[in-house]
């Protein structure tokens, strides 16, 4: 799958609400997106990663 066909947006700056380094990286890389306070949605790229991990396990 080409990178241009993926449905994600990366961020250049750290989001203000993110405090933990791993949370900052997930938001910046486009793996998750904040929907509401404390509610996050998995983006298609993270679903693909989770599917591959579950197939291995």
**What are 20-34's pLDDT values in tens digits?**
899 888 888 888 888
Inside any domain, residue 34? yes
pLDDT, tens only, 1-57: 666 666 667 777 777 788 889 988 888 888 888 899 889 998 888 888 999 999 999
Domain that holds residue 37: 12-56
When divided into structural domains, the chain yields a total of 1
Inside any domain, residue 44? yes
Cβ atoms of 29 and 42 within 8 Å: the answer is no
Inside any domain, residue 5? no
Instruction: Assign 3-class secondary structure to the chain.
Output: CCHHHCCCCCCCCCCCCCCCHHHHHHHHHCCEEEEECCEEEECHHHHHHHHHHHHHC
pLDDT of residue 46: 87
Cβ atoms of 14 and 24 within 8 Å: the answer is yes
Six-digit token pair at 40? 């996050």
pTM above 0.85, yes or no: no
């Amino acid at each position: 799958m080409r990178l241009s066909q993926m449905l994600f947006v990366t961020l250049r700056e750290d989001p203000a609400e993110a405090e933990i380094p791993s949370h900052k990286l997930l938001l910046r890389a486009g793996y998750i997106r904040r929907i509401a306070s404390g509610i996050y949605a998995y983006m298609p790229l993270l679903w693909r990663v989770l599917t591959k991990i579950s197939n291995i396990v």
